[in-house]
């Protein structure tokens, strides 16, 4: 197993397990699990710090302590066509929301009202302010470390690294929805049963991972993804949670602006596939070969006729 493969396995296990470790910590400490933190209205619980910071620590430790040649973490703001990428990140989700909700309005399956439980613009600004603090952390985990490492695994297709990261990203969300979100709050988000919602959640986040991941590959930076992620949550959360949108039957599964709705996941997936298929060879990172200490010593010996020291 190459070092990049080993690192990704360790990363995936740590990410998938961090939330459940946080749940165990909350249960041991008597914290109330079901809360509204999933909708950016709560400070969360001590266990949720483990959920967020556990993967961050894992990524940082693996990056510095187990060098795998997969490249940098994507923290740069210097990349070609920055204005174009950031503009697209700002505008993409409003357009996708308009298409998804507009389709529902056109067939009579969705109703819209400006008067929800909170004014829409004020709620957007409040949620966006929270998201621009949270999402650099989440994008660092999954695109900064996850995508850069998955791209070094020599998988059989261009799409495979993004799908792999998408599955890990989805698994990370499980304790958030299953343990830290109350049934009443989930009814604000979906009319579906838990099993059906989780299937669509996995599909939606995996489709989104293709788009987010390919933007990371093309730019070499996590920051356009941070903007896109923040716009996505800041628009979808108030619309759905604050009652600005109404759905007939299970129409939310098709037309809701959240990532698990069919229209949104199709649009995200299609845009991601378009970027992946249009990528030139020079736009993908070229992993540096791993430096095995034994090979280094052998090379020095051949060059100088003796081992150093």
Residue 6 has pLDDT above 70, yes or no: yes
Domain boundaries, the chain: 3-304
Predicted confidence band of residue 295 (pLDDT cuts 50, 70, 90): very low
pLDDT score recorded for residue 38: 58
Q: Which residues contact 11 (CB under 8 A, 6 or more apart)?
A: 55, 58, 59, 62, 145, 146, 149, 168
pTM of the model: 0.90
Question: What's residue 285's pLDDT?
Answer: 63
* CA distance linking residue 243 with residue 239, whole number of Å: 6
pLDDT(88) > 50: yes
User: Residue 309's pLDDT is what?
Assistant: 36
pLDDT of residue 281: 76
Residue 56 has pLDDT above 70, yes or no: yes
What is the mean predicted confidence (pLDDT) over 107-114? 96
The yes-or-no verdict on residue 289 having pLDDT over 70 is no
- Judge whether residue 307 has pLDDT over 50: no
Look at 125 and 44; give whichever has higher pLDDT. Answer: 125
Instruction: Transcribe 252-274 into DSSP letters.
Output: HHHH-SSTTSHHHHHHHHHHHHH
- Asked if 79 and 219 count as a contact pair (C-beta separation under 8 A), the reply is yes
More confident residue, 32 or 50: 50
Q: State how far Cα 115 lies from the chain centre.
A: 30
Mean pLDDT of the 11-35 span? 93
23: which 2 tokens?
A: 């749940």
The whole-number pLDDT of residue 39 equals 57
**pLDDT value at 259 more than 60:** yes
Mean pLDDT confidence for 66-88: 96
- The answer on pLDDT for 170 being more than 80 is yes
Q: Is the pLDDT of residue 37 over 80?
A: no
Residue 169, pLDDT above cutoff 60: yes
Mean pLDDT throughout 27-41? 73
Q: What is the pLDDT of residues 181-210, one digit of tens each?
A: 988 889 999 999 999 999 999 999 999 999
As a whole number, mean pLDDT of residues 274-287 equals: 78
49: tokens are: 């710090």
DSSP state at residue 83: H
Give how far Cα 36 sits from Cα of 39, 41, 43, 99, 138, Å. Answer: 6, 6, 9, 28, 18
Q: In sequence order, what E strands does 51-155 have?
A: 110-112
Q: What is the pLDDT of residue 86?
A: 98
pLDDT at 33 over 60: yes
Q: How high is the mean pLDDT of the chain?
A: 90
Please report the sign of the dihedral spanned by the C-alpha atoms of residue 169, residue 167, residue 252, residue 266: positive
Percent of the chain at pLDDT exceeding 70: 88
Residue 260, CB-side half-sphere exposure with 13 Å CA sphere: 23
> Per-residue b/e over 280-298, b at no fewer than 16 CB within 10 Å?
eeeeebebeeeeeeeeeee
Which residue is listed with tokens 């070229």? 286
């Amino acid at each position: 197993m190459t070092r990049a493969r080993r690192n990704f396995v360790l990363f995936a296990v740590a990410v998938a397990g961090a939330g459940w470790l946080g749940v165990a910590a909350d249960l041991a400490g008597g914290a109330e699990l079901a809360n509204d933190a999933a909708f950016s209205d709560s400070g969360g619980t001590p266990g949720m710090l483990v959920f967020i910071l556990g993967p961050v620590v894992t990524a940082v430790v693996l990056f510095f302590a187990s060098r795998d040649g997969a490249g940098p973490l994507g923290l740069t703001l210097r990349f070609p066509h920055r204005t174009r990428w950031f503009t697209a990140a700002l505008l993409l989700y409003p357009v996708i929301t308009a298409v998804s909700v507009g389709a529902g309005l056109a067939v009579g399956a969705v109703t819209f009202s400006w008067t929800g439980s909170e004014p829409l613009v004020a709620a957007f600004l409040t949620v966006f302010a929270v998201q621009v603090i949270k999402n650099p952390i989440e994008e660092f985990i999954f695109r900064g470390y996850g995508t850069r490492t998955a791209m070094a695994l020599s998988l059989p297709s261009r799409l495979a690294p993004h799908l792999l990261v998408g599955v890990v990203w989805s698994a990370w969300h499980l304790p958030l929805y299953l343990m830290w979100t109350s049934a009443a709050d989930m009814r604000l988000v979906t009319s579906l049963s838990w099993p059906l919602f989780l299937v669509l959640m996995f599909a939606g986040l995996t489709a989104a991972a293709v788009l987010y991941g390919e933007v990371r590959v093309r730019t070499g930076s996590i920051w356009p993804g941070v903007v896109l992620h923040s716009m996505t949550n800041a628009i979808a959360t108030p619309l759905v949670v604050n009652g600005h949108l109404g759905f007939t039957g299970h129409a939310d599964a098709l037309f809701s602006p959240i990532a698990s709705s069919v229209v949104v996941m199709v649009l995200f997936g299609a845009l991601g596939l378009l970027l992946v298929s249009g990528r030139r060879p020079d736009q993908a990172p070229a992993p540096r070969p791993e430096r095995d200490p034994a090979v280094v010593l052998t090379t020095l010996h051949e060059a100088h006729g003796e081992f150093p020291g």
